[in-house]
Structure 1
Amino acid sequence: MHNEYLKGALLTALGVTILSFDALLIRLIDAHSFGLIFWRGSLLSLVVYIWCKTYRPANRILQLDAAMLRSAILFAISSFSFVTAIKITSVANVLVIISATPMVSAVLAHIFLKERSPPITWIAIFICMGGIIWVLRDGWHSGKMLGDVFAVLCCLGISAKFVNDRHARSRDMTPALILAGIIMAVIAAGFANPFILAPRDWLWIIALCVVVLPAAFILITLGPMRIPAAEVSMMMLLETALGPLWVWLILNEVPPTSTLQGGSVVIFTLLTHSLLRWRRQP
C-alpha cells in the first residue's frame, strides 16, 4: 500500500475512534446547548492554537483566505447542528444520518474537484443510503424529526468541509479549527451564560473540549491531504458503529430497531468497501 495513503487512512481512523466519544460526553453534560457550544468552540481554539505553535512554530497560524474561511464556517455549522441534534434525538439516529457524508462528499468532489470515485465507492454509497433511509423512517413516527433535520445539516456541513480541505491539500488546514472555534464561541455567547454550569459538567467539558475534540479533528483534518474526500467520509462511518455503543453501555440508551437494522447495513458495507479498496491499492 502506498505510504501516503496508509498514513492518511490511519490518521483518519484514529481521529474517528477518538471522536466516537463525542456524543456520549454531550449527553453527560447537562448544560444548555449554547453554553456547551461556547466551551466547545473556545477550548478547541485554544488547544489547536497551542498545538500549532508547538509543532509548527515557523508557520503562519491563520491565513485568512477563502479556503480557510470556508473550512472554518462549514465546521462551525456542522458543530452547531451536531450538538443540537444529539440533544433532541437519539444518538444512533444522528450518527447513522451523518454517515451519509460519503455520498455528499463524492458528489461535491465530482462537481467541484473533478475527482472521480471508483465504481465500488459509488455502489457502497448507494447501499449505505438505503440503510440511512430505513433509519429515517423512524423519525416520522417518534416526533424527533427536527433532530434528524439538524443531523442532515451537520452531514452537509462536514461533507463540504472535507471537499474544501481536499481542494487545499497542499497546505495544512488545521488552523481553520481555531477560527471555527472563535466563530462558535462568539455566536453562542449571545444566547447563553456559559459560566453557569454544574460542578460535574466542568469535568466532562474539559474531557470533551480539551482532549477528545482537538485530538480527533486535528487527525481528521490531516486525512484529506492524503486520501480522497469520499474515502475520508467513508471512514467517518466508524463513528456510526462506536458512538451508539458507548451511549448504550454507559447510559443504557437502546437504539430503535430500525436504527439497528439500517446501521448494520451501513457498517457492513463500510467494512466490505474498506477491505476491497485496501486490496486494490498498489
Structure 2
Amino acid sequence: TSAANALLLINLNPLWCAVVGRLFLGDLLPRRTYIALALALCCVIIIFVPEVVERKRHGGDGNTAEEEDPYADTAVRGNIIALVCGFLLAAYITIVRLGAKSEKEINLVGAASLGASLSAIISSIVERGDVFPSSFWTGTTAYFWLAVAGQGFGIGAVFVAIGLAPKFITGAEVGLCILLEAVLGPFFVWLAYRDVPSKWTLIGG
C-alpha cells in the first residue's frame, strides 16, 4: 500500500485508544468521541473499498484463488496490516497508562528501551541475520546508516516520549499528538520518492 494509506490507517490509534481506554480503564468518552469514531470508520471504508473495487474491475474472470480472495491483493493486505498496527499502538499506549496509574513505581523508559532491543532481535531473526547491505564490507552505504540512525534515535525517542506522556494525559490525547505524523509523513515521502496518494486516500484522510 502507499505510505499515505499506511500513515492514515495507523494514525486511527487515538480512536482505538478511546475505545480501549473506555473498556479497560473506565475512561469517560464524550459524545464527540463517538461521532469521531463513526467518521473514522467511514474514512477506513473510503480508503479500503475503492482499492478492492478497482482490483475487481481489472482483475480478470475471477477463476483463480487470488482473484476470488480480495485479501490476496498486496495493497489490501498492506492496509489491513497498517490498521492492525494502529490498534496495537493504541493497546501499547493503554498498557503504558495502566502502568503509570499503578501504585508501584514502574520504569517505563526502561521498558521502552528493552522493547526496542527485543524488536531488533526479532527483526534480525526474521531477516536471518542478513541485516547489513551487500556493500557493507566494501564501502559504507550512507542511506543504510541514515536509516539506522533514524530507527535507533528517532523511533527510540518517540517511544520513550509515548511511555512518559500517558502519565499526564489520556491515551486518546497522546494519540492525537501523534497525528502530526499523518500530515507530514506523506509529504516527506512525496519529496523523497514522488509517491502520490490516491484521490480516495486524500478524501478519506
TM range (shorter): 0.7 to 0.9
* TM-score, normalization by structure 1: 0.57
**Aligned pairs for 1:4-43 within 5 A:** none
SS of corresponding position for 2:126: coil
Residues 21 and 94 in structure 2, CA contact (< 8 A), matched pair in contact too: yes
Q: Which residue of 2 aligns with 1:211?
A: 153
Residues 113 and 156 in structure 2, CA contact (< 8 A), matched pair in contact too: no
The Cα shift of 1:202 comes to: 2.5
Q: Does 2:156 align with 1:221? A: no
RMSD: 1.9
Structure 2 residue ranges without an equivalent (≥5):
56-72, 136-140
Residues 174 and 218 in structure 1, CA contact (< 8 A), matched pair in contact too: yes
Q: Report the Cα distance in structure 2 between the residues aligned to 1:175 and 1:197, rounded to whole angstroms.
A: 33
2:119 to 184, 187, 193: 184
* TM-score, normalization by structure 2: 0.77
Q: Which residue of 1 aligns with 2:32?
A: 120
Percent identity for Structure 1 against Structure 2: 29
Deviations 1:5-62 (A, max 9, x none): xxxxxxxxxxxxxxxxxxxxxxxxxxxxxxxxxxxxxxxxxxxxxxxxxxxxxxxxxx
Off by >3 Å, runs of 4+ in structure 1: none
**Aligned pairs for 1:78-89 within 5 A:** 89=1
1:201 to 127, 136, 143: 143
Q: Which structure has the larger Rg?
A: 2
SS of corresponding position for 1:174: helix
Residues 116 and 156 in structure 2, CA contact (< 8 A), matched pair in contact too: no
Residues 165 and 173 in structure 1, CA contact (< 8 A), matched pair in contact too: yes
Structure 1 residue ranges without an equivalent (≥5):
1-88, 264-282
Residues 93 and 136 in structure 1, CA contact (< 8 A), matched pair in contact too: no
Bigger mean CA deviation after superposition, 157-166 or 186-195:
186-195
The Cα shift of 1:115 comes to: 1.0
Q: Report the Cα distance in structure 1 between the residues aligned to 2:148 and 2:166, rounded to whole angstroms.
A: 27
Q: Report the Cα distance in structure 2 between the residues aligned to 1:201 and 1:191, rounded to whole angstroms.
A: 21
